[in-house]
């Protein structure tokens, strides 16, 4: 009898077992060291996984309907690795078609209104601040770091990332820069501390982030000679807030993925108008090498409304807006490294510094949800399913081409 999950072949280098009710067991890669065992406690959990592996497994795992037992040194990331290394039967793929069709229709008819964009941003970024304060570096950079060595600290790797952004943009005294999707102000703070006499603006849709940066700005005003301002605003409001050509430089780090595919061109057009002739923009975004639908679990529980762009779509939108593309750099493996660091810090601080503050759902369910998120994301970058791209563009006059050291 064929295995119930419909796995035809797995290239995962270890054995793993799947247990069902009634003492039925399927073993894969039999004869090798067993890394983990899945235990389906209900038929409903199996049915959900067969219909949508990502969402079905996460929901079953969070609800306790799927249990996982690991050998020493293995964890949920190995379940994801095994899934990516597996090939499914035709019958198993057919069972997934209704879910794929539903996700495709949602993708096609997705319209990210200002109200919905704010709601989606707040759903993720306005979680208890103790989560991010303990998981991220001290400056709360929530995007891919750029380590030079695997032994680097998360703190140093995030500083290096912000330094590279400033070097690529060639910030100068007197420049005005806007950080579109500024997060908790990690890049803004780095610029204020390292670049003299720069006017720094940032926008965010997160109330928590806005309140946090507003407090930090008072300190920046006293300790640096740069001017800092932050706004609780949508990028679509920028041309009402500022005149065309108001900024010499634009940075947008990890925000493009939240816009939605039918708004990518509008974003690029707005950025083009905000720059004067010769102005430049650094766009930092997660990308896919091949077109694909949003991950169902991530869309439902982590980043509602998020859509990761196909890398060629990013370049096409920038060119259509009128930009000259000066430099493109990929470093997806650095995001796998970053996610591993975040996961280590999450579990190091979970019991004492994060768990007591989780009120949005049962803490144990929240822990499993974030384990799924951090594990799936890390392996997606490890396997090349996802990548990270930095694109340096200019309006009109191209800046001199330069080579930048890959991290």
pLDDT reported for residue 226: 79
User: Which residues fall within 8 angstroms of residue 395, CB to CB, at 6 or more apart?
Assistant: 272, 275, 276, 277, 278, 279, 280, 322, 323, 324
| Angle between the N-to-C axes of helices 114-125 and 207-223, in degrees from 0 to 180, rounded to the nearest 10 | 80
Q: Which residues pair with 199 in a beta bridge?
A: 176, 227
Hey, what are 262's tokens? 């039918």
**In the prediction, which pLDDT does 210 show?**
95
Q: Is 181 helix (H, G, I), strand (E, B) or coil?
A: coil
pLDDT score at 1: 42
CA distance 206 to 121: 6
Yes or no: domain 114-395 corresponds to CATH 3.40.50.1000? no
Number of residues written out for the chain = 407
The residue ranges of every structural domain in the chain are 7-108, 114-395
Do the Cβ atoms of 366 and 394 come closer than 8 Å? no
Task: State the number of CA atoms in the 13 A half-sphere of 374 facing the CB.
Answer: 22
CB 147 within 8 A of CB 192: no
* CA-wise closest residue to 144 among 287, 345, 354, 267: 287
For residue range 154-184, list pLDDT tens digits in order.
999 999 999 999 999 999 999 999 999 999 9
Report which secondary-structure segment, H or E, holds 312.
helix 311-321
Identify the segments of the chain with pLDDT beneath 50: 1, 403-407
The class that CATH gives domain 7-108 is alpha beta
Cα separation of 376 and 303, whole Å?
13
58 with 83: CB under 8 angstroms?
A: no
Distance CA 172, CA 32 (A): 59
Give the per-residue pLDDT at 407. 36
316's CB contacts (< 8 A; 6+ apart) are none
Residue-level pLDDT at 36:
96
């Amino acid at each position: 009898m064929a295995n119930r999950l419909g796995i035809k072949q797995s290239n995962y280098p270890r054995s793993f077992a799947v247990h069902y009710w009634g003492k039925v067991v399927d073993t894969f890669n039999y004869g090798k060291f067993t890394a983990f065992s899945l235990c389906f406690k209900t038929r409903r959990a199996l049915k959900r996984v067969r219909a949508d592996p990502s969402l079905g497994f996460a929901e079953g795992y969070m609800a306790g309907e799927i249990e996982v037992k690991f050998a020493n040194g293995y964890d949920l990331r190995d379940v994801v690795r095994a899934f990516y290394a597996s090939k499914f039967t035709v019958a198993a793929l057919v069972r997934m078609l209704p879910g794929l069709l539903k996700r495709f229709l949602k993708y096609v008819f997705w319209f990210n209104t200002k109200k919905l964009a704010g709601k989606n941003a707040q759903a993720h970024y306005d979680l208890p601040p103790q989560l991010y304060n303990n998981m991220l570096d001290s400056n709360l950079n929530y995007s891919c770091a750029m380590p030079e060595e695997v032994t680097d600290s998360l703190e140093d790797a995030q500083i290096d990332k912000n330094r590279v952004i400033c070097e690529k943009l060639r910030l100068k005294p007197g420049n005005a820069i806007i950080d579109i999707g500024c997060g908790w102000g990690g890049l803004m703070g780095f610029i204020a501390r390292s670049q003299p006499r720069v006017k720094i603006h940032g926008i965010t849709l997160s109330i928590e982030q806005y309140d946090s940066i507003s407090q930090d700005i008072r300190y920046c005003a006293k300790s640096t000679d740069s001017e800092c301002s932050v706004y609780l605003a949508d990028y679509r409001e920028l041309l009402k807030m500022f005149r065309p050509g108001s900024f010499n430089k634009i940075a947008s780090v990890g925000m493009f993925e939240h816009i939605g595919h039918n708004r990518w061109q509008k974003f690029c057009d707005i950025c083009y108008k905000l720059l004067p002739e010769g102005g430049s923009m650094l766009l930092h975004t997660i990308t896919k090498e091949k077109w694909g639908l949003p991950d169902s679990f991530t869309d439902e529980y982590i980043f509602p409304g998020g859509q990761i762009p196909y890398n060629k779509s990013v370049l096409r939108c920038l060119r259509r807006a009128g930009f000259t593309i000066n430099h493109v750099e990929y470093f997806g493996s650095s995001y796998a490294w970053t996610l591993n660091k975040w996961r280590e810090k999450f579990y190091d601080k979970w019991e004492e510094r994060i768990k007591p503050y989780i009120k949005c759902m049962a803490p144990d369910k929240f822990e499993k949800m974030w384990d799924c998120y951090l594990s799936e994301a890390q392996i997606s970058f490890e396997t090349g399913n996802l990548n990270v791209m930095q694109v340096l563009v200019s309006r009109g006059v191209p800046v001199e081409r330069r080579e930048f050291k890959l991290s």
